[in-house]
Amino acid sequence: MIDHFAILPCNGLDKCAGLISRELALKLCESAENEILCPVFYRVSDKKYNKIASERPLLVIDGCLTRCASKLAAEKGLKITKKIIIAEEAKGHGIKLNDNLRITDQEQSLLETLFDELNKNDDNIVPPPSESAMSCEFLYETFQNGKFIFRIPKNGEVFFNENDCWAYVIGNRARIGVTDFVQQNLSDILYFTPPEIGAEIDQFGELGEIESSKSVFELVSPVSGKVISINEKLVGKPELLNENPYELGWVAEIELTKFEDDKELLIGFDKYFEIMKKKVEEING
């Protein structure tokens, strides 16, 4: 059972998903000794809530893909233990949320289902992620096309897939991110949806989403493994991807499970450099 958690819900009470987020948080607090971090008061007066959040694991309940609660947690430097997005949960359970501000029978059914799933007495609650212990020092090669300058890491520890994602491998861990081609092609990045801590990812599986005003990019993992850390700063400041998709805008860290097999389908700097140049030239003429 979720016990002694700090719960940060969505404050979007103008949408059905936000209402469900609030009601789920209240129900969890009524059933156990959890405490709600009020997102409205937390923005203006955080002393009380910082103390609660520092003493308890954090459950974030976002209403929709805007992820206001997750962004607030990132702004406050909080480490998210578990996160759910009501709109995504509804989709996964085959429920279409209504457009009004009333919780109907189907929304109530979803609420009860999520409550039961969160209240299971099992090992589904992932412990808070530890601080990243990886130290990645990149060496770059650059090329220019018009006004755009592209950097590509040329370290021997960095591997790429043809989906423009990289993995910096040290021992049995890898830090994952996207290349300059992705961030410059997307232009101004507005949102970042991270993977969940503890998620088991297959090679070429989805490792989060990056969204700009132009399109949505699904990050395709170069390697297989378990997600052990995410770049929490990126949740609150997705523009870090535009500033620097390597040192600042990395996405997640993975504990590798079958890297020797994965390597067969990865490429190194030389091949990726040529692939990226060709893609840029095709787009920009």
Read off the pLDDT of residues 12-33 as tens digits, 9 standing for 90 and up. Answer: 877 888 889 999 989 888 877 8
CATH number, position 274? 2.40.50.100
pLDDT, position 126:
44
pLDDT, position 285:
63
Closest of 176, 183, 12 to residue 97, by C-alpha: 12
Say if residue 113 is in the same domain as residue 206. no
Q: Which residues on neighbouring strands pair with residue 175, listed in sequence order?
A: 168, 253
Q: Which residues on neighbouring strands pair with residue 193, listed in sequence order?
A: 209
Maximum CA extent, the chain: 61
> Average pLDDT over the chain, rounded to whole?
86
Tens of pLDDT, residue by residue over 204-251, are 999 999 998 888 999 999 999 999 999 988 888 899 999 999 999 999
Say if residue 155 is in the same domain as residue 237. yes
pTM over cut 0.85: no
pLDDT, position 130:
45
Rounded Cα–Cα distance for residues 121 and 10 (Å): 25
Tens of pLDDT, residue by residue over 46-74, are 777 888 887 888 888 988 877 788 878 87
Q: Is residue 260 part of a domain?
A: yes
What's the domain count of the chain?
2
Say if residue 184 is in the same domain as residue 96. no
Tens of pLDDT, residue by residue over 86-111, are 988 888 888 888 877 788 888 888 88
Q: Is residue 134 part of a domain?
A: no
Q: Is residue 135 part of a domain?
A: no
Rounded Cα–Cα distance for residues 222 and 162 (Å): 9
Say if residue 218 is in the same domain as residue 96. no
| Residue range of the domain that includes 221 | 140-284
Encoded amino acid at 181, one letter = F
Encoded amino acid at 187, one letter = S
Q: Which residues on neighbouring strands pair with residue 140, listed in sequence order?
A: 153
3-state secondary structure of 238: coil
pLDDT, position 129:
44
Q: What are the backbone dihedrals phi and psi of residue 119, each rounded to the nearest 5 degrees, phi first? A: -90, 5
pLDDT, position 207:
94
Q: Is residue 54 part of a domain?
A: yes
